[in-house]
Chains A and B, each alone.
Chain A
Amino acid sequence: MMFLAIRELKHSKLRYLLIGLIMVLVALLVFIISGLANGLSSDNASSIQNMKADYFVMEHDSKNKLNRSIISMEKLDEIQAISDVKAAEGLGQMMITLNKIGSSEKTDVTIFATDASGILAPKVIEGTSYDNKKQGEVVADRSLKEVGYKLGDSLKDDLSGKVLTIVGFTEKQSYSHTPAVYMNVKGWQEINPGLKNQGKDSISAIAVQLDSKSEENVRESLPEGVTLISKEESLQSIPGFKEEQGTLTMMIAFLFVIAAFVLAVFFYVITLQKTNQFGVLKALGANTGYLAKSIVGQVMLLAVTCIAISVALTYGVTLIMPEGMPFELSADLVIKYSVLLLAVSVLGSLLSLYRVAKIDAIEAIGRVS
């Protein structure tokens, strides 16, 4: 089956090298953009993605946006009382700018407020967790450490004038491209200007764990003025998340279409060029199946080689990427996209197979090549 395929590849090296180069570049772009999409998605929403919650209860008019939602703390008890809810926990959220005391450095962060021993509490990888009673203790994402913050550093919130102290670090906690900083609910209410002035005991949302089967039951049992949204819906409403992911996903989709077309056109033109040759081969006794396998074999050999080179190059590129670049590529995703690229390559060769099937052996007779 590969008798003709391999000999032709060897003979027409330049031709196949050029198409191979295009394939390598397209595949490389697919891997890099999907790594970037993944990285940006984490950078934008890892706090929500990694939260041990399936749904959020938010204020009815908040348009699914955490920063717009305010729910009174009493609702937490009502939600917990619903029979299908396995667990529920209050969550406060707010974006602030922190000033490192003793320096002019400012950092934008997203504050998450929750019970230090509840289901939403971050996993501390260094230092200790914050105290539910003590004011001003926070657990910050590791990315703050990477830009120079240490345990025990004090940070001042510009707006409220409150001072926060880093007592621990967590990881993979990021929201809207800012590092997440966890603290207790009381402290959060203190620095939230709206709540502080009103003196109300409120939170932004309530995270709940429940089976997707019981979603409807819970929805019907909800108290007045709140709504139940899935984690996925809340991700989509993070500012810029949908737009960012949509753009990158569209680019990846186009790359797949481009890969299919480039290969389809290349092999089709080559097949047209070889019409007479295929006619002779058929006259000699080659059946269409044999010739089809030969073409598909060629395409697969080329695609597998190019994809393998691209994967190697992609990992090479990650090594020289600047620190802090939001890039995340899992082996799962690489395998998934590799298989998909191989599939569109083979799809692209179908046009040539159709052409070969139509070539009549009789073209070999009475003709000068």
Chain B
Amino acid sequence: MMGDKLLFENVSKVYGEGDNKVIALDDISLNVRAGEFVAIVGPSGSGKSTFLSIAGALLSPSKGRLLLNGEDITTLSPKELTRVRLEKIGFVFQSSNLVPYLSVRDQLLLLSELIGKRDKTTVKKADELLSHLGLGHRADHLPEALSGGERQRVAIARSLMNDPEIILADEPTASLDSKRGRDVVEMLAHEVKSRNKAAIMVTHDERMLDLCDRVVNITDGKVFG
């Protein structure tokens, strides 16, 4: 279907073999369209992390297909998957995971560096992104000088730097208080809408769900809702 950014087709993930077999994801089908912000909720051990790892091209499914912007990425080599992550997927991790020795601007430029085109235009783009997210005055600071909320905003800016198809957020509010957490998720939702990206956020913070277009519940590897 047109507008489908991410499509899970009967995806299963099984760890181990025989008696030790653990079914982390069981025949999941799901689609996320452009401009859609989907929340994934579920108890610990429900398969949320496995789901996000597969969506993020970090893990291959045992069965089923995964289409990113219409392209089947389940058949790609690890090297090609690295390229897909770099160009098509934006990540926002728990507690941001910024590189400690890079200035805020360099955090963004690292993505351009990795893709192989770091020049004046990318510096301009990084500065625009930062001022757009209210971080213009922080461009030359190191992560250690930033507050938790600011760090997550930098992580959002970083995830947008290479203009990805989809943004994946792994518990982005885990280390923030509810006020700041809400600000960050609002900002993420706003960027997703205005840029017409797709986004998936794994969270167990119920108070953020009203900011999402759709809430998907994963329990014991199965999808509800």
> A12 touching B118 by the CB < 8 A rule?
no
> B118 touching A3 by the CB < 8 A rule?
yes
In angstroms, Cα B212 to Cα A190, docked, is 111
> A365 touching B52 by the CB < 8 A rule?
yes
* In the complex, A366 has a CB within 8 A of chain B: yes
Cβ contacts under 8 Å, A364 to chain B: 58, 91, 93, 97
Task: Evaluate whether A277 and B99 lie within 8 angstroms (CB atoms) in the complex, with A284-B91, A362-B53, A365-B49 already known.
Answer: yes
> B85 touching A285 by the CB < 8 A rule?
yes
Stretch at the interface among B67-75, B107-115, B193-201: B107-115
From residue B43, how far is it (CB to closest CB) to chain A in Å?
Answer: 14
In angstroms, Cα B56 to Cα A224, docked, is 87
In angstroms, Cα B86 to Cα A285, docked, is 4
From residue A35, how far is it (CB to closest CB) to chain B in Å?
Answer: 39
Cβ contacts under 8 Å, A3 to chain B: 106, 109-110, 113, 118
* In the complex, B36 has a CB within 8 A of chain A: no
> B91 touching A283 by the CB < 8 A rule?
yes
Flag B128-142 by CB within 8 Å of A: 1 or 0 each.
000000000000001
* In the complex, A280 has a CB within 8 A of chain B: yes
In angstroms, Cα B95 to Cα A290, docked, is 25
> B82 touching A287 by the CB < 8 A rule?
yes
> A366 touching B49 by the CB < 8 A rule?
yes
* In the complex, B170 has a CB within 8 A of chain A: yes
From residue A367, how far is it (CB to closest CB) to chain B in Å?
Answer: 7
In angstroms, Cα B93 to Cα A33, docked, is 53
Q: Give which listed residue, A12, A276, A282, contacts B82 with CB less than 8 A.
A: A282
> A366 touching B101 by the CB < 8 A rule?
no
* In the complex, A213 has a CB within 8 A of chain B: no
In angstroms, Cα B216 to Cα A245, docked, is 76
Q: Give which listed residue, B58, B86, B111, B115, contacts A365 with CB less than 8 A.
A: B58
Interface size range of chain A in the complex:
20 to 34
From residue B126, how far is it (CB to closest CB) to chain A in Å?
Answer: 13
Cβ < 8 Å to B, chain A residues 168-222:
none
> A283 touching B174 by the CB < 8 A rule?
no
From residue A297, how far is it (CB to closest CB) to chain B in Å?
Answer: 13
* In the complex, A369 has a CB within 8 A of chain B: yes
> B93 touching A286 by the CB < 8 A rule?
no
* In the complex, A308 has a CB within 8 A of chain B: no
Flag A281-302 by CB within 8 Å of B: 1 or 0 each.
1111111001000000000000
Q: Which residue of A lies closest to B85 (CB)?
A: A285
From residue B64, how far is it (CB to closest CB) to chain A in Å?
Answer: 18
In angstroms, Cα B118 to Cα A5, docked, is 16
> B79 touching A8 by the CB < 8 A rule?
no
* In the complex, A18 has a CB within 8 A of chain B: no
In angstroms, Cα B91 to Cα A367, docked, is 13
Cβ contacts under 8 Å, A283 to chain B: 56, 58, 85, 91, 93
From residue A278, how far is it (CB to closest CB) to chain B in Å?
Answer: 10
Task: Evaluate whether A362 and B58 lie within 8 angstroms (CB atoms) in the complex, with A3-B110, A280-B93, A284-B85 already known.
Answer: yes
Task: Evaluate whether A361 and B58 lie within 8 angstroms (CB atoms) in the complex, with A8-B101, A280-B93, A368-B175 already known.
Answer: yes
* In the complex, A7 has a CB within 8 A of chain B: yes
Cβ < 8 Å to B, chain A residues 1-58:
3-4, 7-8, 10-12
Task: Evaluate whether A366 and B94 lie within 8 angstroms (CB atoms) in the complex, with A277-B99, A277-B100 already known.
Answer: yes
In angstroms, Cα B78 to Cα A282, docked, is 11
Task: Evaluate whether A369 and B97 lie within 8 angstroms (CB atoms) in the complex, with A11-B142, A284-B91, A285-B86 already known.
Answer: yes
Flag B23-45 by CB within 8 Å of A: 1 or 0 each.
00000000000000000000000
Q: Which residue of B lies closest to A361 (CB)?
A: B58
* In the complex, B59 has a CB within 8 A of chain A: yes
From residue A49, how far is it (CB to closest CB) to chain B in Å?
Answer: 53
Interface centre among A3, A276, A284, A290 (most CB of B within 10 A): A284
From residue A103, how far is it (CB to closest CB) to chain B in Å?
Answer: 70
In angstroms, Cα B109 to Cα A7, docked, is 12
Q: Give which listed residue, A12, A284, A285, A361, contacts B101 with CB less than 8 A.
A: A12
In angstroms, Cα B95 to Cα A11, docked, is 21
> A285 touching B49 by the CB < 8 A rule?
no
> B101 touching A365 by the CB < 8 A rule?
no
Q: Give which listed residue, B59, B100, B114, contacts A284 with CB less than 8 A.
A: B114
Q: Which residue of A lies closest to B112 (CB)?
A: A3
> B106 touching A280 by the CB < 8 A rule?
no
In angstroms, Cα B127 to Cα A317, docked, is 50
> A367 touching B82 by the CB < 8 A rule?
no
Cβ contacts under 8 Å, B58 to chain A: 283, 361-362, 364-365
From residue B156, how far is it (CB to closest CB) to chain A in Å?
Answer: 14
Q: Which residue of B lies closest to A277 (CB)?
A: B99
In angstroms, Cα B110 to Cα A281, docked, is 9
Q: Which residue of A lies closest to B99 (CB)?
A: A277
* In the complex, B102 has a CB within 8 A of chain A: yes
6 closest A-B pairs by beta carbon, nearest first, are A285-B86, A11-B101, A366-B49, A285-B85, A280-B97, A362-B58
What are 17 A-B pairs at a CB distance below 8 A?
A: A7-B106, A11-B100, A11-B101, A283-B58, A283-B93, A284-B110, A284-B111, A285-B82, A285-B85, A285-B114, A285-B115, A361-B58, A361-B82, A362-B58, A364-B58, A366-B48, A369-B97
Given A285-B87, A366-B52, A369-B97; 4 other pairs, CB 8 A cutoff: A11-B100, A285-B111, A362-B59, A365-B56
